Amino acid sequence: MPLVLIPAYEPDDRLVALVRELTPRGPVLVVDDGSGPGYAGVFAACAAAGAVVASHPHNRGKGAALRTGFARAAHDWPGLDIVTADADGQHTPADISRVAEALGGVRGAQTAPDRPQAGQLALLERRATVVLGVRAFAGSVPLRSRAGNALTRRAFRLATGRDVSDTQTGLRGFPSELVPWLLSVPGDRFEYEFRMLLAAPTAGIALEEVPIRTVYLDGNASSHFRPLADSARIYAPLLRFAASAVVAFVVDTGLLLVLQALTGWLLLSVTLARVASAGMNFAINRSLVFGARRTVPLRTAALRYFGLAALLLAASFGMLTALTDAGIATLPAKLMTDLTLFAVSFSVQRAVVFAPDRRIEPAHTYARE
């Protein structure tokens, strides 16, 4: 059985019941994310049931609690795979075991006896896989949970071109070799898990889904998810990219209209406007949108970006020509064209232009507090 890692903030006795079921099967690590003195009894009961309890002195967020757990796992259980689960009773012991079994099956299928599987070479020589315990969202599901998953699922498909049926699941299985990568993913709160999914394709990490039960207790009243603040964190990369695209669109469209009015030459107008707006868009995206991924040298990123810009320019000109020839005015034709190419641009910039270095960073060490 892999190590089961459970981040917890202000939990109740459901966490204790879960720990009691899990500890006979294998090690359990609970991270108290600054719940405070009022919850000391719950964590003491978890420790009495056999779990190891790590604590934050104050609340830092689910992402920070998970990273603390991953670092502790690398220190105290090196080489042991990890399954993360929530503390509010949504993940049953049976489903946790199902994800653990799937993770073991993936590892067994990918491991060959004549290939080294120790250290960082393992990730470079085989395709690492994260196992997701996914819910069907059938039956009585709170509206905010159903709507939230639908939105993040579409955002994920837009950003990566891939479909994940449950982007919000906290029940996930990780091979031990992925701990250094997990520690490098940014985000301290609920956005951490979504950013992890966004970063996985670029890092060459596969995602495998395992069906689990859809469990919501008391309308999911125990959830600490803040709809506005945490949704903004989750969608931040896409929102920043959209804002950058809007600025570039305003510059591009304004120059296009002015230059076409002055020259009457669509190709020249499109080209000059796109060059000016692309330079601005590259600077904004590199500094603000994909800033955490600036492991690519400036020259390399610039060559990739302007290569993409050239392809998008050709596509934009072709679509604009087709639409204007069909009798559509320049401005609505421009809107239709740029909206169509938006998703393509975001996905390619994330996956190729500003893709982080795929080399695995050295493992972080866990400093006991």
In 77-215, which residue ranges form alpha helices assigned H by DSSP?
93-110, 121-125, 143-160, 179-184, 191-202
pLDDT in tens, 339-361: 778 767 776 777 678 765 444 33
The answer to whether residues 281 and 298 belong to one domain is yes
Mean pLDDT, residues 326-336 taken together: 85
Does residue 109 sit within a domain?
yes
Mean pLDDT, residues 266-287 taken together: 83
Mean pLDDT, residues 97-121 taken together: 65
325 in Cβ contact with 148 (< 8 Å): no
What is the tally of structural domains in the chain? 2
97: domain CATH number is: 3.90.550.10
Residue 42 has pLDDT above 80, yes or no: yes
The answer to whether residues 150 and 224 belong to one domain is yes
pLDDT at 310: 84
Last residue of a domain, one of 234, 259, 286: 234
What percent of the chain has pLDDT above 70? 74
Residue 265 has pLDDT above 60, yes or no: yes
Does residue 360 sit within a domain?
no
Give the range of the structural domain holding residue 325, as residue numbers without chain letter: 237-353
CA angle at 28 for the pair 25 and 31, rounded to the nearest 5°: 165
Residue 11 has pLDDT above 80, yes or no: yes
The answer to whether residues 197 and 340 belong to one domain is no
The answer to whether residues 247 and 198 belong to one domain is no
Count of C-beta atoms within a 10 Å radius of residue 147: 12
The answer to whether residues 71 and 18 belong to one domain is yes
The answer to whether residues 54 and 169 belong to one domain is yes
The answer to whether residues 127 and 212 belong to one domain is yes
pLDDT at 336: 84
Does residue 369 sit within a domain?
no
pLDDT band at 234 (very low <50, low <70, confident <90, very high): low
pLDDT band at 106 (very low <50, low <70, confident <90, very high): confident
Task: Choose among 142, 132, 154: nearest CA to 215.
Answer: 142
Does residue 358 sit within a domain?
no
Residue 120 has pLDDT above 60, yes or no: no
Does residue 166 sit within a domain?
yes
Does residue 211 sit within a domain?
yes
Does residue 367 sit within a domain?
no
The answer to whether residues 168 and 28 belong to one domain is yes
pLDDT at 355: 67
pLDDT band at 244 (very low <50, low <70, confident <90, very high): confident
What is the three-class DSSP state of 360?
A: coil
Strand order in 82-84's β-sheet? 52-56, 28-33, 3-8, 82-84, 172-174, 129-134, 206-211
The answer to whether residues 191 and 221 belong to one domain is yes
Task: Choose among 72, 79, 91, 70: nearest CA to 14.
Answer: 91
Last residue of a domain, one of 188, 214, 234: 234
The answer to whether residues 196 and 244 belong to one domain is no
The answer to whether residues 112 and 218 belong to one domain is yes
Does residue 366 sit within a domain?
no
CA atoms within 13 A on the CB side of 233: 18
The answer to whether residues 215 and 245 belong to one domain is no
